[in-house]
């Protein structure tokens, strides 16, 4: 295994995850504020799951997103 290529590919994947996740979260929060499901001052619990099926890996990562 080429460590440099592996590292670059992992970073490329994580960047794609981050960009897409941010877009989806922003759209969902704005829609929820617009239709009254959120006021805009909440703290939202967030969870992301990273999995590699070929390795049987599944890891949840949890955090909080403060809106105000």
Inter-residue long-range contacts of 62-66, CB under 8 Å, 24+ positions, other chains counted: 65/25, 65/29
Rg of the chain over all Cα atoms, to the nearest angstrom: 16
pLDDT of residue 2: 98
DSSP-assigned letter for residue 64: E
Domain spans of the chain, in order of start = 3-66
pLDDT tens digits along 14-53: 999 999 999 999 999 999 999 999 999 999 999 999 999 9
Q: Give 48-67 pLDDT, tens digit per residue.
A: 999 999 999 999 999 999 99
By the 8 A CB rule, do 67 and 40 touch? yes
Strand partners, 44: 65
């Amino acid at each position: 295994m080429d460590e440099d290529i592996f590292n670059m590919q992992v970073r490329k994947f994580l960047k794609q995850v981050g960009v897409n996740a941010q877009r989806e979260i922003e759209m969902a929060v704005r829609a929820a504020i617009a239709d009254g499901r959120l006021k805009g001052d909440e703290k939202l619990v967030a969870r992301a799951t990273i999995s590699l099926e070929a390795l049987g890996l599944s890891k949840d990562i949890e955090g909080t997103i403060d809106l105000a």
